[in-house]
Structure 1
Amino acid sequence: MSDWDLGQLRALAAAADLGTFDAAARALHVTPSAVSQRIKALEQTAGAVLLRRDRPVRPTAAGEPLVRLARQLDALTADATRHLTGDAAVPHVTLAINGDSLTTWVLPALAPLAGRVALHVVREDQERSAELLRDGSVMGAVTSQAVAVQGCRVEPLGVMRYRPLAAPAFAARWFGDTRASEGVRAAALAAAPVVTFDADDRLQDRWLRRRRVDPARPPRHRVPASADFAAAVRLGFGWGMLPGEQADDDERAGRLVRLADDAVDVPLYWQQWSLRTDALDAVADALRTAAADLLPQRV
């Protein structure tokens, strides 16, 4: 079972990526029948059903490792071809990056590579990006997962440090003088509106629990985009946890004030396929260097 057919693997990955056999056939310049035959032959070799024949088609649990293998082989083949032939084609690298990292430090870190690598970025929560690595949808990810996904390697980058912030008028209305010795009262936090990113955002909840406030009590606004989330806090929709890289200028200018000095640290890790390509290594080096310069490091 170790001698996989590259054409069959490519048919499987194309169908999984594009959702139909017809679309996969167009991408591979073959007929839909040929795509179907290749996938059936691969399923016979694997001894398992590899695709759910829904619309769109999706890989099964047995199919996901082979889809990942197909993508890895394509990346290695393209890398070898460039070395052997001097092919000038720009390699592409697919990444999963959380919205706050994209908005703050990742894009400047990757900008010098823009002429050498075609970057396909999926914006995904740092806690959910492991799934994209596991099924081969991305080659690397900035993630909060410290344990390496199977077939990947992992290294720490630093932390995103989030502090509770609000517009000055909002803070004065709901909390009074946040610099008072007793600080922000739990009763006020239970009533004051809070801004969250989405249903999976737990940062505000973690900070509320520190103050013995039930996170279910405050009214919530959901704003699922990093820059818009910060804008909603500045506009006084509610208070929210913002990273220093995104909020420091607003604090200095007086557009935001802290509700307290304590922070919630979210450790970030770089995970990537264990295989090595020049393009993927360049991306990893750029992120590693930027993180060391810009992110607080864990003590």
Structure 2
Amino acid sequence: MDLQLDQLRALDAVLTEGTFEAAARRLSVTPSAISQRIKALEDAAGRILLQRSKPVRATESGLAVLRLARQVALLAGDTARELGDADRPADRPIRIPIAVNADSLESWVMPALARVPAGIFFDLHREDEEHTTRLLRDGTVMAAITATATPVRGCKVDPLGAMRYRPMATPDFAGTWFPNGPTPAAYTSAPVVHFDRKDDLQFRQLRRRVRRDVDPPSHYVPSSNGFAEAVRLGLGWGMLPDLQTGTDRAAGTLVNVDGDSAIDVPLYWQQWKLHSPALSAVATAIADAAATALSIR
């Protein structure tokens, strides 16, 4: 199977941008040239790689070739930067897609990425830490912060630490809905805030205390800052990370509705097994920041 570099770049661009036209703009060619390259790539692979929908989507075979395309692009970029290639100078950017859970993104990941050497750029995909490995598996990202210790095929895993979450609420909310403390009856009836329908932390806390599945009145706020703000405004209780609530706890504006109760969520760095200086630089920055931010090991 003879796959050309320009064809692989076209596939990556189409799936990143979502349309042939946008891919053409990114690569500074015509949409017709993109179409021809994709057709040639599919002929070489002997199968359909793209679903011509809006946005364009990869078939299962397309995901396998996409992973190859992004590996080749990363390694080619590393080599060009090392050699100072005239056609791809050392300052030409390398793009690394990474899956990150919302709470890490809002608290400690951005300062970590700011330490990465110039010329490396990021395409961040926000996803629940329990689901980021899906994006690694299908080739959408090269690395992920995940709660899964088992490596995805072709990836390696390093532990980062853990984020500690507590069931927090305003003092007024706790006094109204938990007057007798964290009883099963209180947990069953008290309004709760969820990040989204993939967010299982509140249900984990409920199962610990009620010992059965319950469905209390719920708000869904799919924003890390918005989620914390909903709890601060008294809309409900929610599992908030210590990294977001230190000032609130010190000032007494948020309290733990369940004494010292907490849930520790372990986090891991998974990345493709590639000898890539750029990817290694990102991994080092993430590990260094996690050593400070995630003190629970």
The normalised TM-score by structure 1 is 0.91
Of the structure 1 ranges 70-79 and 164-173, higher mean CA displacement relative to structure 2 is found in 70-79
Secondary structure, counterpart of 2:114 in structure 1: helix
Q: Per-residue displacement from partner, 1:153-203 (whole Å, max 9, x unpaired)?
A: 11111111111111000001111264xxxxx11111111100110011110
Match of 1:218 in 2: 216
1:131 aligns to 2:137 (yes or no): no
Q: How far apart, CA to CA, are the structure 1 residues paired with 2:108 and 2:26?
A: 35
Match of 1:75 in 2: 74
1:265 aligns to 2:268 (yes or no): no
Letter matched to residue 195 of structure 1:
V
1:158 aligns to 2:161 (yes or no): yes
Q: How far apart, CA to CA, are the structure 2 residues paired with 1:46 and 1:123?
A: 31
Q: How far apart, CA to CA, are the structure 2 residues paired with 1:30 and 1:89?
A: 18
Pick the aligned partner of 1:207 from 205, 208, 222.
Answer: 205
Match of 1:15 in 2: 14
Secondary structure, counterpart of 1:163 in structure 2: strand
Check conservation: 2:188, 2:210, Cα contact below 8 A.
no
1:172 aligns to 2:170 (yes or no): no
Check conservation: 1:189, 1:213, Cα contact below 8 A.
no
Match of 1:106 in 2: 109
The answer for unaligned runs of 5 or more in structure 1 is 179-183
Deviation at 1:27, TM superposition (A): 2.8
Q: Per-residue displacement from partner, 1:102-155 (whole Å, max 9, x unpaired)?
A: 122212222223745323322221122222222332221111122222222111
Q: How far apart, CA to CA, are the structure 1 residues paired with 2:78 and 2:294?
A: 31
Check conservation: 1:50, 1:60, Cα contact below 8 A.
yes
- Note closer, same or farther for the CA distance 1:79–1:115 as it changes in structure 2 (3 Å cut): closer
The answer for unaligned runs of 5 or more in structure 2 is none
- Note closer, same or farther for the CA distance 1:242–1:220 as it changes in structure 2 (3 Å cut): same
1:96 aligns to 2:99 (yes or no): yes
Q: How far apart, CA to CA, are the structure 2 residues paired with 1:296 and 1:269?
A: 14
Match of 1:198 in 2: 196
Q: How far apart, CA to CA, are the structure 1 residues paired with 2:104 and 2:65?
A: 30
Of the structure 1 ranges 31-40 and 284-293, higher mean CA displacement relative to structure 2 is found in 31-40
Q: Per-residue displacement from partner, 1:227-281 (whole Å, max 9, x unpaired)?
A: 1111111111111111111112211110111122121121111011211322221
Q: How far apart, CA to CA, are the structure 1 residues paired with 2:105 and 2:21?
A: 35
1:47 aligns to 2:46 (yes or no): yes
Check conservation: 1:190, 1:214, Cα contact below 8 A.
no
Secondary structure, counterpart of 1:265 in structure 2: strand
Check conservation: 2:117, 2:281, Cα contact below 8 A.
no
- Note closer, same or farther for the CA distance 1:97–1:58 as it changes in structure 2 (3 Å cut): same
Q: How far apart, CA to CA, are the structure 1 residues paired with 2:226 and 2:63?
A: 35
Match of 1:255 in 2: 253
Q: How far apart, CA to CA, are the structure 2 residues paired with 1:99 and 1:114?
A: 24
Match of 1:227 in 2: 225
Deviation at 1:295, TM superposition (A): 1.1
- State the number of aligned residues: 292
- Note closer, same or farther for the CA distance 1:114–1:164 as it changes in structure 2 (3 Å cut): farther
Root-mean-square deviation over aligned CA pairs: 1.9
Secondary structure, counterpart of 2:60 in structure 1: coil
Secondary structure, counterpart of 2:210 in structure 1: coil
Of the structure 1 ranges 47-56 and 109-118, higher mean CA displacement relative to structure 2 is found in 109-118
- Note closer, same or farther for the CA distance 1:215–1:273 as it changes in structure 2 (3 Å cut): same
Letter matched to residue 93 of structure 1:
I
Pick the aligned partner of 1:242 from 237, 240, 243.
Answer: 240
Check conservation: 2:206, 2:214, Cα contact below 8 A.
no
Of the structure 1 ranges 110-119 and 193-202, higher mean CA displacement relative to structure 2 is found in 110-119
Match of 1:181 in 2: none
Match of 1:64 in 2: 63
- Note closer, same or farther for the CA distance 1:26–1:290 as it changes in structure 2 (3 Å cut): closer
Check conservation: 2:94, 2:121, Cα contact below 8 A.
yes
